[in-house]
Amino acid sequence: MEKLLVRLVRQLDALDEASLMSLWSKYATIVDRFEPTKRWEEAALVFSLIQGKRWKNQLFNYYWALQSSVPGKQPEKLPGFTPDFQLESVTDSTDGATPDKVACRVLPFKKR
């Protein structure tokens, strides 16, 4: 699976961001109008790939500019620029059991 993802990333990175951005509004519109279909799921993934390429380029350009403007200075973190998440342990450290999960609500799909 990891090899497949790396191959996809290499193909995505070979695409021009400007060309991808020409598709942004098309897929943003499809994703904005949720429907429980395979078409919507695929559009959501395409949209996230376009956003991922854009985010990667912005992050790269930020660090590249910072690195080339001030030699030897470590780049500062931009607030809200990078994802704010923590990796959590899958098991409880005391007894090895899976920690309690937070309950969630399942939304039913309704036919139109």
Sequence-ordered list of residues with C-beta below 8 angstroms from that of 93, at least 6 positions apart, any chain: none
Specify the higher pLDDT residue, 61 or 7: 7
Domain presence at residue 43: yes
Where in the sequence is the domain holding 35, given as residue range(s)? 2-69
Residue 17: CA count within 13 A, CB half-sphere: 8
pLDDT tens per residue across span 9-59: 999 989 888 888 889 889 999 998 999 999 999 999 999 999 988 888 888
82 occurs within a structural domain:
no
Longest dimension (CA), the chain: 60
Task: Assess if residue 98 is contained within a domain.
Answer: no
Q: Is residue 56 part of a domain?
A: yes
Written as six digits, the tokens of 25 are 């509004």
Sole residue written with tokens 């607030």 = 79
pLDDT digits (tens, 9 = 90+) for 86-102: 545 555 555 555 556 65
Q: How many separate domains does the chain show? A: 1
Q: Is residue 91 part of a domain?
A: no
Which of 76, 49, 52, 72 shows the shortest CA–CA distance to 62? 76
Any domain includes 111: no
Does any domain span residue 87?
Answer: no
Confidence check: pLDDT of 76 > 70:
no
Q: State pTM to two decimals.
A: 0.59
**39 part of a folded domain:** yes
